[in-house]
Structure 1
């Protein structure tokens, strides 16, 4: 009994240290990195500006369609209750919100890419941040416990809305950008540090890798577009790679099973 108590105390200390370290890293990034202005024309300039069948920026718009398919399918399966291997209410709430935000992203991002500007980018950014919040919350419920995950969900949703408002009011995208680094940096670390509750946990790492590649493709938008002979831009490929990450997570939910009860 004493051993179990000491083990629980040690686990809780590791969780607090990890969360505190993440907060410190975030503050350091905000303090030392230069301001990234929202109201800048170059943020809305993408390599592929082609117009097919009267749709502006056609491929950047159409490559959001996979988000709609995955989001609606995942949302329906979450509501069904028996298709995904989800054992806690906190996970159900997190995953349901995740797929709902992915569905919203399909419309928001398509709306933004039809005419990219400072006003429309909110409809692209906010669903992304909400999806990150709910996904990370679901991961924490699985790895750190239901109470920790749900507490972080409320906090992260507040930060998501605050980040978008901060960007609009102070013309600074740093909060939004650093918030989007969470899946790439934290999930791999916590995958190693905290034991999984379910099987097929490697899909977390595969999805994180696909997400990281999508960000790289977005940054190399013009270079990729030039390299492949102006067939498809890096930004459009980034959309498809992000959708692949969501497919991997959906496959994980379908095939995983409980490894040991927490």
Structure 2
């Protein structure tokens, strides 16, 4: 059985405060100095919101279109994200969890659905505006998984206060590359946020946690990023059958699997919520 820690562990809460404040300070620096740092690095974003484009004018290698669907596989490969989010809401039905955990899960599952729809919209017609829509969905999903990690490994009270803050920062970060040409806050949300999940994963679950294996979430995220970075390499390795970016969408949907597994281990109706006093 996985060891658990008390709902309120002073040393853990102190460490979380340091980590969270550090991430927020880094985000503020990226927001205030991001355009200057990008300019000094000579990094300029094109209208697609990326640094480089292929000869066919898109930022991803596979621009094949079938059945009158532009960039067909990059569009259709987002369906697993929508299905994963819907499966999450279905699995959550009938399970009585602590409210901060439920809120984080709902935000995460909604983020998966929005990510699938937003990404499909972006790949249908890639440009800077549709990229914002794509990233807004991802921002919601990131906020949900970060708040869930805090609920599982730090405390319910901390997750309740953390969720609205990280959700706002993530949404703002998704729009800044288009509004200011500043991609650094978005990078902080993605990579700094996953750093927080890694930090949380190294700690035992708190009392009353669902028992989500955060290592599985981290592993799926790393796989998705590798597929994204290897977009062209995967495309050629598969005989130009499917690209790394299309696989990346499927891999990202699999981030729901460890969370769904944790939920399914909870018997319906048996999860008495943690008393409100325990959440502060």
Q: Same fold (TM over 0.5)?
A: yes
Match of 1:130 among 134, 140, 150: 140
| Separation (CA, whole Å) in 1 of partners of 2:19 and 2:179 | 31
**From 231, 238, 248, the counterpart of 2:258:** 248
For structure 1, the 5+ residue unaligned runs are 1-6
More helix, by proportion:
1
**Does residue 65 in structure 1 map to residue 74 in structure 2?**
no
Deviation string, structure 1 residues 20-67 (Cα, Å, up to 9, x no partner): 343455567675863554444436421111112111111101110011
Q: Is the 8 A contact 1:104 1:127 kept in 2?
A: yes
Alpha-carbon distance change, 8 to 213 in structure 1, aligned in 2, over 3 angstroms: closer
Tell me what 1:9 maps to: 10
Match of 1:204 among 201, 208, 214: 214
SS at match of 1:180: helix
Name the TM-score, length of structure 2 as normaliser: 0.79
| Aligned 8 A contact 1:47 1:221 in 2 | yes
Q: Which sections of structure 2, spanning at least 5 residues, go unmatched?
A: 1-7
* Aligned length, in residue pairs: 249
TM-score for the superposition, normalised by structure 1: 0.84
RMSD between aligned residues = 2.5
Change (3 A) 1:162 1:26: closer
Change (3 A) 1:195 1:75: closer
Tell me, yes or no, if structure 1 residue 34 matches structure 2 residue 47: no
Q: Distance in 2 between matches of 1:211 and 1:96?
A: 19
Check the 8 A contact 1:38/1:168 in 2, yes or no.
Answer: no
